[in-house]
Amino acid sequence: MKILIVTQYFWPEEFRINEMSRMLVQRGHQVTVLTGLPNYPAGRFFPGYGLRQNRRQNYEGVEVVRVPLIPRGKSSPLRLALNYFSFAFMAALLGPSKCPGRYDVIFVYEPSPITVGLPAICLKKKKSAPLIFWVQDLWPESLSAIGAVRAKFILNRVGSLVRYIYHRCDLILVQSKVFIEAIAELSIPTGKIKYFPNSAEEIFDGKGGPNGNVDRLTFPDGFRLMFAGNIGAAQDFETILKAAELTKEREDIHWIIVGDGHLSPWVKAQVQSRGLQNTFHLMGRHPLEDMPAFFARADAMLVTLKKDPIFALTIPGKVQSYLACSRPIIAALDGEGARIIEEAGAGLTCPAEDPEVLAKTILKVYHMPREEREKMARLGRDYFEKNFERQLLLNRLEGWFLKLSRNEEPCV
C-alpha cells in the first residue's frame, strides 16, 4: 500500500511514529511522511534544518517531506498557537503538491495539536483517500487541564474544530479505551472508533545492556526511583517535590529525573530552596536510545499526572515503556493509567496530587524484598507482551488500512 502519514512531529524528534513508519516500510509498504521542521522540545530548529535545508529526506526507507513552520520557542501560549497553525496552514498549502500522486490511506498521528487534522482533510479531498486519525490527546479538554487555555469562548471554538475534524475521518483510533465514550459524545458512530494503544520502541526489551553514554555517568548508591520524560504542567512536579521532601530523611532514597521541559528551571530552583540537593537528581535530557540503560539502573519507575478528569482517561506513553523494560512502577495516577498498572500487577498506585500517600507508597516499595519487586517487573513485561507488543498492534493497524483502502468497513 501507499501510505501518507501526516504528523507535526517526526525524526529527529523522538516520537513513536518514527518506529511505526520504519516498520511499515519493513512490511513492504511505500510510506511518505508529511511533517514540519524539527524543533521539539527545545523550541528552535535542530542543527542542519531551516527554511532551505533538509526539506526532503529519506529516513530508513521512509520518504520525509517537510514544510516550514514557526518554531515553538519557549512554549508560551501565543508561540504555541503560531507553531500549531503555521504547520497546519503550510501543510495544507504545500502538501498536495509536495506529496504528488495517489495514496491508499492517509494516517494522522496526533499527540497534540488537533490542528494536524486540517491539512489531512485537505489531502483527503485532493487524493480521494480514506483518513485515519490516531488520537493521543483529547482536545479541548487537555488544553484546560494544563491551564494553557481558560477562556470558555476559545475552548468552545476549539471544540467546534475538533468536531469538524472528527466528522471528516473514516476511522478514529484512540490510545485509551475510555476515549471512545468521550469521542462518541460528539455524534461520532462508535463503529468508527477503535482502541489502538501505544506500544514501546524495540529498544525497550527489558535487558538494558551496556551503554557507553550512560556508563560514564555517576549514579547515587541506594534506592533509585526514576522519572523519565517531559517536565511540564501535566506531570505535577509539585506533588513529586513535596513527596521528595517527605522522604528526604531516608538519604538512600534517590529521585532520578531524566528529561527536560519548560518547567525544568522551576524544578531546579525548587530543589535548591527545599534542600533536596542530596536526594533529588536532575540528569537532563538524553537520547531515546539511552533510556533502556537508564531504566536498568532504577529500582522503580515513577509516573505522575495532575488530578483532572481528562488525565484520568489517559494512558501516559511512558507506562508502556516502563512495562516493556521490566521495571516495577509507582504511579500517582487516577483512572485508566492506574487501572492498567494494577491489572498487570506491575507496581503500586496511589491517587494523583496526594504527596503524603505517594511518599508512603514509595516507602512501601522501598521496604519490599527484592524478589517481590522483581516479580512486579516480570508481570509488567508479560502484560506488555500480551497487550502492547509492537507487531501485534501493527498487524491490527495494517488490517484496518487494507480494509479502508478497499472501501470495506473495518472490523474490531
Give CA separation, 151 vs 54, 79, 112, 283, 376, in Å.
39, 17, 19, 36, 44
pLDDT of residue 154: 83
Residues 6 and 148 in one domain: yes
How far apart CA 179 and CA 135 sit, in angstroms, is 9
Pairwise pLDDT comparison (121 vs 77), residue with the higher score: 121
Is the pLDDT assigned to residue 159 strictly greater than 60?
yes
Is position 398 within any domain? yes
Residues 267 and 326 in one domain: yes
Is position 410 within any domain? no
Residues 35 and 159 in one domain: yes
Is the pLDDT assigned to residue 20 strictly greater than 60?
yes
Is the pLDDT assigned to residue 158 strictly greater than 90?
no
Grid cell for residue 379: 508481570
**pLDDT, tens only, 37-49:** 999 988 999 999 9
Contact residues for 146 (Cβ-Cβ < 8 A; gap 6+): 232, 233, 234, 306
- Per-residue pLDDT, averaged over 142-157, amounts to 74
Count of residues for the chain?
412
CATH number of the domain at 329, please.
3.40.50.2000
pLDDT of residue 217: 92
Is position 207 within any domain? no
Is position 412 within any domain? no
**pLDDT, tens only, 55-84:** 999 999 999 999 999 999 988 889 999 999
Residues 37 and 101 in one domain: yes
Is the pLDDT assigned to residue 216 strictly greater than 60?
yes
Helices (H), 167-290: 179-184, 212-215, 237-247, 264-273
Is the pLDDT assigned to residue 342 strictly greater than 60?
yes
Contact, 182 vs 313, CB < 8 A? yes
pLDDT confidence bin for 212, thresholds 50/70/90 = confident
* Enclosing domain of residue 32: 2-199+389-405
Rounded-to-10 torsion of CA 279, 267, 199, 342: 60
pLDDT of residue 143: 75
Residues 352 and 244 in one domain: yes
- Per-residue pLDDT, averaged over 177-189, amounts to 94
pLDDT confidence bin for 411, thresholds 50/70/90 = low
Is position 293 within any domain? yes
Is the pLDDT assigned to residue 375 strictly greater than 60?
yes
Is the pLDDT assigned to residue 148 strictly greater than 70?
no
| Number of separate domains in the chain | 2
- Per-residue pLDDT, averaged over 87-97, amounts to 97
How far apart CA 334 and CA 338 sit, in angstroms, is 6
Residues 379 and 393 in one domain: no
How far apart CA 117 and CA 108 sit, in angstroms, is 7
pLDDT of residue 149: 67
Is position 394 within any domain? yes
Is the pLDDT assigned to residue 88 strictly greater than 60?
yes
Is the pLDDT assigned to residue 393 strictly greater than 60?
yes
pLDDT of residue 140: 83
Residues 195 and 224 in one domain: no
**pLDDT, tens only, 163-176:** 999 999 999 999 99
Residues 175 and 125 in one domain: yes
pLDDT of residue 51: 84
Pairwise pLDDT comparison (6 vs 407), residue with the higher score: 6
Is position 83 within any domain? yes
Residues 268 and 363 in one domain: yes
The rounded mean pLDDT for the chain is 94
Residues 226 and 153 in one domain: no
pLDDT confidence bin for 412, thresholds 50/70/90 = low
Is the pLDDT assigned to residue 141 strictly greater than 90?
no
Is the pLDDT assigned to residue 144 strictly greater than 80?
no
pLDDT confidence bin for 150, thresholds 50/70/90 = low
335-371 exposure pattern, b = at least 16 Cβ within 10 A, e = fewer? bbbbbbbeebebbbbbebbbbebbbebbeebbebeee
pLDDT of residue 326: 94
Is position 411 within any domain? no
Residues 152 and 270 in one domain: no
Residues 179 and 312 in one domain: no
